[in-house]
Amino acid sequence: MTPAQLKYKLTGDVTVTANKTFLAVFLGSKASPKMAAWVAQPEPVRQAKEKEGIAAWKAWVKRHEGAIVSMGGPLGTTKNVSASGIVDISNALGAFTIVTAVSHDAAAKLFEEHPHFTIFPGESVEIMPILPIPGQTERITVETAVAAPIEQVWRAYTTPADILKWNAASADWHTTNATVDLREGGTFSSRMEAQDGSMGFDFAGTYTKILPLERIEYAFGDRRAEVEFSPSINGVIVRVRFDSEPTHSIEQQRGGWQAILDNFKKHVEERVVAKNTICLWFDKDAESAARFYAATFPESSVGAIHRAPSDYPAGKAGDVLTVDFTVAGVHCLGINGGPMFTHNEAFSFQIATETQEETDHLWDAIVGNGGQESSCGWCKDKWGINWQITPRVLTEAIAAGGAESKRAFDAMMGMTKIDVAAIAAARRGQ
């Protein structure tokens, strides 16, 4: 449904890094000196090495799980089929795995120091690219995770007004027109043009299957594509599968479609309206505060910034009126409403920390930026908003109840910034 998916390379300035797929074959021989030495080990020694090797292999899998397409597995006995018939043979093939990487060298580096040959008696691992069959259309998949309700994701993907805003692989292109007749047999079309007006083209197709909030299938020319919308814990996974075309490389096509899908994600997430949003009143510094929070706390970002359409009591037309931002995963809205309302300790953010280092970092960032210390892990930032920088060891101690809880609580009462080691010692009764 996106014309740049076909011709995005015309501008020559879209740079992408796309992964390729590789087959890794584990080689070994029962007649090798390594295997002989392995078998000659005392049984307890060999069992210990096997245990070590299995643990190392699992660690390798965990370390590279993002690159593993298929774990594959061990290979059994081999039958050779030829014009002469079928016979049993032996070869060096022991197992296989399929991985993805940006290059052949990068794929090979995944297997450096692999336990197959550093602990087990395997000889080596051979890695080779899996190439497309000439003349055969390859299916390509791209996906993204969108942090928004599925209704908003679906609407943005299928509404012409939204398509005009996200349907481009780079800032040098934009969509000038889009139509959608969202039904089986209905058609869609769009017009993509370079921002400088130097070129443009049309893209059109027909919907072949529509499952609302779940799936869209469509045909464009002699090619087909499917779009899946799968709810996840943090929003929606949007996955697009499409037929490749022969003009551009698979990597170029995958990169172009992915760039557009990433633009779609950005468009949707910037417009998400949460069911429950914390609204914080500022005099005139909502944007500065939001940017400080985004730079200080994990899982934090600045979203849309809206300016006043006309003069109002605390400002003039064009001034920043509201700022969407997220603090440690919590959606907030800052409003520049003037000096009449101020913050106090009746409202605070409680940020859980894991270590003293993290506690110190956040505490120092707030206090060192014009804030002030309070007590029991509380501090206040320069805009008057209160923060509880609370190590988990403290909340866990208080939740434990009994004498342990009392000791931790009493220790906390004498603190300004929470001392993780002191709380842990109080829990132990030291």
Residues 55-73, mean pLDDT to the nearest whole number: 91
Q: Over 90: is that where the pLDDT of 209 sits?
A: yes
Report yes or no: 43 and 149 within 8 Å, Cβ to Cβ. Answer: no
Three-state SS at 342? coil
Q: Over 80: is that where the pLDDT of 61 sits?
A: yes
The pLDDT of residue 8: 37
Three-state SS at 35? helix
Q: Are residues 241 and 317 in the same domain?
A: no
- Domains contained in the chain, number: 4
Residue 64 is part of a domain; what is its CATH number?
3.30.70.1060
The pLDDT of residue 430: 84
* Better-predicted residue by pLDDT, 20 or 294: 294
pTM of the model: 0.47
Share of the chain above pLDDT 70, in %: 94
The model's confidence at residue 99, banded by pLDDT at 50, 70 and 90, is: very high
Range of the domain at 226: 4-14+136-270
The pLDDT of residue 136: 67
The pLDDT of residue 90: 83
Q: List, for residues 294-303, the tens digit of each pLDDT value.
A: 999 988 888 8
List C-alpha distances in Å: 429 to 339, 391, 406, 414. 48, 18, 10, 16
Q: Are residues 123 and 45 in the same domain?
A: yes
The pLDDT of residue 135: 65
Q: Are residues 360 and 376 in the same domain?
A: yes
Q: Are residues 297 and 398 in the same domain?
A: no
Q: Over 50: is that where the pLDDT of 367 sits?
A: yes
Paired with 128 in beta bridges are 23
Q: Are residues 171 and 232 in the same domain?
A: yes
Q: Are residues 322 and 377 in the same domain?
A: no
Report yes or no: 370 and 382 within 8 Å, Cβ to Cβ. Answer: yes
- Measured between alpha carbons, how far is 28 from 97 in angstroms, rounded to an integer? 15
Which of 53, 29, 233, 261 is closest to 141 using CA atoms? 261
Q: Are residues 142 and 236 in the same domain?
A: yes
Residues 331-347, mean pLDDT to the nearest whole number: 94
Greatest alpha-carbon span in the chain: 94
Alpha helices, DSSP H, located in 212-281:
250-270
Q: List, for residues 165-195, the tens digit of each pLDDT value.
A: 999 988 889 999 999 999 999 999 999 898 9
Three-state SS at 320? strand
The pLDDT of residue 10: 34
Residue that is last in its domain, among 319, 342, 365: 342
Which of 392, 366, 389 is closest to 376 using CA atoms? 389
Structure token pair of residue 82:
């030829």
Report yes or no: 207 and 120 within 8 Å, Cβ to Cβ. Answer: no
Q: Are residues 154 and 266 in the same domain?
A: yes
Q: Are residues 143 and 245 in the same domain?
A: yes
Q: Over 90: is that where the pLDDT of 389 sits?
A: yes
Q: Are residues 9 and 141 in the same domain?
A: yes
Residues 254-281, mean pLDDT to the nearest whole number: 88
